[in-house]
A and B are shown apart, each in its own frame.
Chain A
Amino acid sequence: MSRTLALVTLADGADPRRVAELESAAVLGKHMPGTVGGGHYTWDGIDDPIPPGFEDVADVDLVELSLIDGSLADPGFAGEIKRTLLLRVEPDAPADSVAAFERDLMAMPDHIPAIVNWTLSRVVGPSGTRWTHSWEQEYYTLDGLKVDYMMSPHHWGLIDGWFDPEMPRQIVDLELAHVYHATGRSVLAAALG
């Protein structure tokens, strides 16, 4: 089963009235301060996120995701944070390293209870996309992401070695899309349903 996810970047000088119309018309996640590399919004599960006629968009980075694994600890999750990390594993990374990286990511919820629901997916399209993986989580609070997740020794002491340019085992490109937004529903419940 696959689904789509898009990161949308508004054009510089986008008309605020039209942006307000867009935000009221579409199911979207408006990125919060601290987001890096992923534009202004996340659209989950919508093939064509931009309504016809809306032109104030600089970029729509749409990816097709194929689920590797995930967990729905709280199917009734009602908020408040959905976080997405889009990343690119270097094309020359050894296959056993990629497999170990994926296993390590999927072990994070065992060590960080603040992660409620989660999925790890491979990016399978469109052709030419720069991303290879999408690592998504849902948290009950913003601190769950910014404190429990980011400051966990499991994160900085183990997982980050796959990302760190000072580590011999780095296989992930430095350019990431680390985005998060408030939500009142579980996006991942549908993905794992």
Chain B
Amino acid sequence: MVGKIHVLDELTVEPGRLDEVRRLMTEGYMAGAKARGMTLEETWLTPPIELFDQPNTLVYLWSVPDAAAWWAMRGAAGRDPGVSEFWAEVDALCVERQRRFLVDDQIGEEE
């Protein structure tokens, strides 16, 4: 069985818009994510200083306890139209965005 699942959000932000995206994430996403069972593990900035003439990437690492919790998170997001509206607002400030799911490398896919 798959245990803890990490959710990795990488937001590559238009130059000069970092603070707006940070504020959106803090004020528009964090509480809802917590309510959907997501735990914020880490946040990073790369390159590690704001570049005003090139994009920076904000990285958010979340976790959920297992696959059942992943589906609970996914179901709650699907039932809340505000979630997709939120990401549309963020995407307007980004040149690229990715979300990836990660598991411990020792846990392979069942064959």
* A residues with CB within 8 A of B: 111, 113, 150-154, 156-157, 160-161, 164-168, 174
Given contacts A166-B77, A168-B99, contact A156 B110 (CB under 8 A): no
Residues of B near A156 (CB, < 8 A) are 67, 70-71, 74, 101
* A26 CA to B98 CA, complexed, in Å: 48
Q: Are A160 and B98 in contact (CB under 8 A)?
A: no
Q: Kindly identify, within residues 16 to 32 of chain B, every residue whose CB is under 8 Å from any CB belonging to chain A.
A: none
* 3 closest residue pairs by CB, A with B: A165-B84, A157-B101, A151-B67
Chain B contact residues: helix, strand, loop or mixed: helix
B4 on the A face (CB < 8 A) = no
Q: Is the CB–CB distance between A166 and B83 below 8 Å?
A: yes
**Number of residue pairs across A and B with beta carbons under 8 Å?**
43
Residues of B within 8 A of A (CB): 2, 67-68, 70-71, 74, 77-78, 83-84, 87, 91, 97-99, 101, 103, 109-111
Q: How far is the CB of B86 from chain A (nearest CB, A)?
A: 9
Q: How far is the CA of A174 from the CA of B85 in the complex (A)?
A: 14
User: CA A165 – CA B43 in complex, angstroms?
Assistant: 22
Nearest-Cβ distance from residue A35 to partner chain B, whole angstroms: 15
Residue among A111, A152, A153 with max Cβ neighbours from chain B (10 Å): A153
Partner of B87, one of A150, A153, A166: A166
Nearest CB on B from A50, distance (A)? 32
